[in-house]
């Protein structure tokens, strides 16, 4: 309980960001999607001749995804993050949570 009380503010950090970003911050959907794409590409090959070939394919997939995120999609609008609310004082925070 002591650890929880000391770290409760960090646990609720997501709520300091714009409401439109809450779901994207608290979920790991992006990571799951990356893992699914790597699995899909490696299943096509089936059996790899050595570890280096797996590493090359995985690196290529990750580089492709990285490039797509740099040039294409915008998962989080960082402009919303500049409007981050100031944290409430510890006393007020506990009253609002309870």
Spans of the chain below 70 pLDDT: 26, 73-98
User: Cα(37)–Cα(17) distance, rounded to whole angstroms?
Assistant: 29
3-state SS class at 70: helix
> Using CB atoms within 10 A of its CB, is residue 93 exposed (0-12), middle (13-18) or buried (19+)?
middle
Q: What confidence score (pLDDT) does residue 90 get?
A: 52
- The reported pLDDT for the residue numbered 17 is 77
Q: What is the pLDDT at residue 73?
A: 66
pLDDT at 46: 87
């Amino acid at each position: 309980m002591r650890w929880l009380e000391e770290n409760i503010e960090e646990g609720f950090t997501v709520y300091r960001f714009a409401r439109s970003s809450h779901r994207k911050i608290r979920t790991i959907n992006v990571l799951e999607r990356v893992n699914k794409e790597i699995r899909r590409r490696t299943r096509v090959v089936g059996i790899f001749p050595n570890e280096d070939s797996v590493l090359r394919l995985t690196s290529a997939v990750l580089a492709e995804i990285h490039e797509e995120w740099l040039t294409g999609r915008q998962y989080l609008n960082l402009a919303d993050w500049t409007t981050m609310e100031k944290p409430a004082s510890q006393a007020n925070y506990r009253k609002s949570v309870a």
